Amino acid sequence: MQNIIVKKDGYESIKYDSPDSLLYIKKLNLSDFPDKKILRHRHEDLEFIIVTSGKLFYTVNDKSSIIESGCGICVNSSRFHGGESIDGENCEFICILLNPALICTTKEIEDKYVLPIIDRNAKDIILLDNKIEWQKEIINILKNIYEIYSKTKNSLYIVGMFFSLWQIYYANLQNSEHADVIYENDDSYENGIRFTLKNMLVFIYENYGKRISLKEICAAGRICRSKCYEIFGKYLHDTPMDFLSDYRVYKALQYLRTSDMSILEIAYKTGFSTSSYFTEVFKDRIGCTPTEYRKNKDKIISAIKNPTSFSFFAEEHGGGVKIAYFNYYKKKYIFVKRKGAIVIAPFPGDMRCG
């Protein structure tokens, strides 16, 4: 299961492939994230994503895009971003983080070729379309980086490929006529709003385990209630209190998977006043109770990733047919086993636990 660990300053704590490499090169699956949703976060690294199957709904600051299979996206340094499923469908993608330190080998390169691209007033996002020649070239380089790294772990060769990628990236961003640019940050007001949002998110990340009021969230950003709602709606597509509840459930999922704490202990640790209210909110977000999730999570996840390994079935019918129904992140699945064969499919109708 993938988790986004957010530090108190609002930046992601990145688990590089090794502590000294500054390399993060992986193939990921949305089904590995809670609720098939990548928590909104940011980091100093540029993020390159290439979708290899399915589609990915991706949001950077206040702009959203649908990334088709074979295409990709580049998210600039220190921008708020996150992704999620489209209609509950799964998506597989290559994710490569490029830490600017890897290519800032001299001060001249840093000042002339890197800082102007990652500056806060520079472009936030570039869509990578496989029908545009220079973007297709970047997509191919990124795929090659993943393939080579997964086989050899040769960091020196990978850094050399990053330089090749950056030459193409830099050259074409200087020529806006050919760049598929979504928008630019040339508005100091917008930068101020994002700074305000960062302060409110940091407050939530630091205090989610306590009783938090909307008034306190507004105070963290030094704004009024209506402006707080406006900013959360624009950048996170959520209300402040719903975002807080989502983050609490997100943290609760981690504790349910990795600790032996009781449901009541997890409820208190994640800021819920009672276990019954925690269960109500958890079931609304995830589709089952915390107890059901903890009891069945390994079987459900294993079944979806490797159907032939699934051996537990809730109902037995005539003719050797066994059936089970489980909720997996808001989506109900039906598992049918007959004469050794297993079929897994989304259950029609209501997708949440009733």
Q: pLDDT for 1-57, tens place per residue? A: 555 555 555 566 677 887 778 899 999 988 877 777 787 778 889 999 999 999 888
Residue 300: predicted pLDDT: 53
Output the CA–CA distances (angstroms, integers) from residue 26 to 9, 17, 40, in the order listed.
25, 9, 19
State the greatest distance between any 2 C-alpha atoms of the chain, in Å, as a whole number: 75
The list of the chain residues with pLDDT below 70 reads: 1-13, 175-191, 297-354
> Residues 286, 35: contact at Cβ < 8 Å?
yes
pLDDT tens digits, 303-348: 555 544 444 444 444 444 444 544 444 444 444 444 444 444 444 4
Tokens 């989502």 appear where?
246
Torsion angles phi and psi, residue 68, rounded to 5:
-80, 160
Indicate left, alpha or beta for 35 from its phi (over 0: left) and psi (-120 to 50: alpha).
left
Residue 139: predicted pLDDT: 94
| 324 vs 99: CA distance, rounded Å | 46
Q: What's the CA angle centered on 73, arms 113 and 94, to 5 degrees?
A: 105
Residue 298: predicted pLDDT: 65
Domains of the chain, each with CATH number or no CATH = 23-173 (2.60.120.810), 188-286 (1.10.10.60), 298-346 (no CATH)
Tokens of 84: 């999620």
pTM for this prediction? 0.59
Buried-exposed string 213-239: b where 16+ CB fall within 10 A, e elsewhere:
eeeebbebbebeeeebbebbeebbeee
| 247 vs 177: CA distance, rounded Å | 41
Residue 175: predicted pLDDT: 62
Give the HSE-up count for residue 69: Cα atoms under 13 Å, Cβ half-sphere: 8
